[in-house]
Amino acid sequence: MTSVTFTPDVGGDNITIDDSDSATTGLGNGGHRTRFMIALAQFMKVVVWVKATAQTVLGYRDAAATSASQALTYAGLAQSAAGVPSYAGKGNQVMTVNPGATGVQWTNAPNLSVMTLTHTQPLVRYMESDQAGAVGVFQTQVEGGAYALLRNTAAARDFSTNVAEHQVNSAGRHLFGGGADNNTDKFQFQGDLMVNGYLKASLNVTLTSDVRVKRDIVTIEDGLGMVERMHGRRYTRSDIGDGRVHVGVIAQELREVLPEAVIEGADGLLSVDYGTLGPVLIEAVKALSLRVRQLEGDRV
């Protein structure tokens, strides 16, 4: 059996019509003669309900549009009442507190060629997204009157551990490589320094030579013999192509005589600490001086 109930929630009178022989609800066995009009009337009530509901929905839509328009109007009035300037014609501008701190004003967007950060500890953090772990994370900051470039060393990329690769303290001294300030020198480096070119000094280059930092001190023996086995050379450089004729020693030759003066780099190339030759030359000159005095009969 098939039945249809015209319920009140869609405009009906809660009347049920079916295809049975029921004397009250059925359309079968001649019942359609008496109940068809009832069913049709219920159907029309449903249609009327649908129409009324649609009109109500459209009314809500129109009311919502009106409300949105009114909201914009009210927002503009609220802006005016609060001393907030109008949005009109303010593209590419930002709202800031006015100089008197009594309200707000529109100002031109910051020029990114000159950006000022004002804070008790202003900082900028750089995180390379295609790297993982501690790699590719740096931070520049100003704190306590000093500038620092920090390199993150924490796997969590949160700077819980880091190295201050470059600092400029309040006294204007520059610290490179995470070293401690010696409170004296303008530029201080911690670690090795590679210069691909000429290193020039208008005054002098010095090495720490204080006895307080030296141990196992012995006098160089056979300085003259070592000098006799060394060779001074003239040569040109194939790696820099400066066209100059240089004077010096060959690291491989010197290593056979004075290995302490030869340093092997990470790239396998040998370099020479020419300052190390000085003490050897001192002892060689002393030995020659002794021979001269002996030959002159002035024995010591």
Could you identify the residue written with the tokens 């309040």? 170
97 with 64, same domain: the answer is no
Domain end call among 189, 219, 234: 189
Cβ 46 vs Cβ 11: under 8 Å:
yes
How many domains, in total, are found in the chain?
A: 4
202 within domain boundaries: no
Residue 245: half-sphere exposure toward Cβ, Cα within 13 Å: 2
197 within domain boundaries: no
9 with 60, same domain: the answer is yes
* pLDDT tens-digit series, residues 142-170: 999 999 999 999 999 999 999 999 999 99
The total of other beta-carbon atoms located within 10 Å of residue 4's CB is 15
Q: What are the phi and psi torsion angles at 73 (to 5°)?
A: -65, -45
15 within domain boundaries: yes
Cβ 188 vs Cβ 181: under 8 Å:
yes
Q: So what's the pLDDT on residue 4? A: 72
Cβ 7 vs Cβ 21: under 8 Å:
no
226 with 254, same domain: the answer is yes
* pLDDT tens-digit series, residues 24-74: 666 665 555 555 656 666 676 777 777 788 878 888 787 777 877 777 776
Residue 209 reports pLDDT greater than 90: yes
Q: So what's the pLDDT on residue 298? A: 60
215 with 289, same domain: the answer is yes
Higher model confidence: residue 277 or residue 16?
A: 277
82 within domain boundaries: no
* pLDDT tens-digit series, residues 169-205: 999 999 999 989 999 999 999 998 888 888 899 999 8
Range(s) of the domain holding residue 140: 123-189
Q: So what's the pLDDT on residue 35? A: 58
99 within domain boundaries: yes
Higher model confidence: residue 43 or residue 227?
A: 227
204 within domain boundaries: no
Q: So what's the pLDDT on residue 51? A: 78
Q: Model pTM?
A: 0.56
* pLDDT tens-digit series, residues 72-117: 776 666 666 666 666 677 777 777 777 888 777 778 776 667 778 8
72 with 95, same domain: the answer is no
For residue 123, what are the contacts with CB-CB under 8 A and spacing of at least 6? 117, 139, 140, 141, 142
Rounded distance between C-alpha atoms, residue 161 and residue 175, angstroms? 18
For residue 170, what are the contacts with CB-CB under 8 A and spacing of at least 6? 144, 145, 146
47 with 102, same domain: the answer is no
How many whole angstroms from its chain centre is CA 294? 72
